[in-house]
């Protein structure tokens, strides 16, 4: 499939996610990914974390990643260091850096994420407690 210009929205995409002790409780909408859009080189989406419940457990993956916080606030763990992130913050996560994020607040935490991968499904998440 050749690359084509694209305008898309979470309203057009299916919600996916995890709710398990090893990975966490998070949902997301994949917006751009070569398996669902006529695109390559990047994949991205919007992740949502419920108030006081949402968490993406610390993990690693080969590609770098970018987070841009859209709404709410969360506690980001990056290579063992914790930091509060709020709407408007952007985080660069180097490839293979251990990272995670959790929502301890009273509002939904929403973030936009980007990978330099053709397909989101090609990103292999490695969780230390997942066996």
Neighbours of 5 (CB within 10 A): 6
Confirm if 67 and 112 have CB atoms less than 8 A apart.
yes
How wide is the angle at C-alpha 97 spanned by C-alphas 92 and 99, nearest 5°? 75
Confirm if 58 and 77 have CB atoms less than 8 A apart.
yes
Collapsing DSSP to helix, strand or coil, 34 comes out as coil
Reported pTM: 0.95
Task: Give the chain's domains with CATH numbers.
Answer: 13-122 (2.60.120.10)
Q: What tens digit of pLDDT does each residue of 58-101 get? A: 999 999 999 999 999 999 999 999 999 999 999 999 999 999 99
Q: What tens digit of pLDDT does each residue of 104-116 get? A: 999 999 999 999 9
**Cα 14 to Cα 35: distance, rounded to the nearest angstrom:** 14
**Percent residues over pLDDT 70 in the chain:** 98
In this predicted structure, the answer to whether residue 1 has a pLDDT above a threshold of 80 is no
**Cα 44 to Cα 6: distance, rounded to the nearest angstrom:** 13
For the chain, what is the mean pLDDT?
96
In this predicted structure, the answer to whether residue 130 has a pLDDT above a threshold of 90 is no
């Amino acid at each position: 499939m050749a690359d084509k210009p694209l305008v898309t929205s979470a309203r057009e995409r299916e919600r996916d996610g995890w709710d398990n002790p090893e990975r966490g409780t998070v949902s997301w909408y994949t917006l751009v990914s070569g398996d669902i859009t006529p695109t390559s080189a990047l994949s991205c989406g919007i992740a949502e974390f419920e108030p006081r419940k949402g968490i993406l457990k610390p993990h690693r993956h080969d590609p770098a990643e970018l987070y841009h916080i859209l709404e709410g606030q969360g506690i980001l763990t990056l290579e063992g260091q914790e930091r509060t992130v709020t709407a408007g913050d952007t985080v660069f996560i180097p490839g293979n850096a251990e990272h995670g994020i959790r929502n301890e607040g009273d509002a939904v935490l929403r973030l936009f994420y980007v990978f330099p991968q053709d397909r989101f499904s090609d990103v292999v998440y490695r969780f230390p407690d997942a066996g």
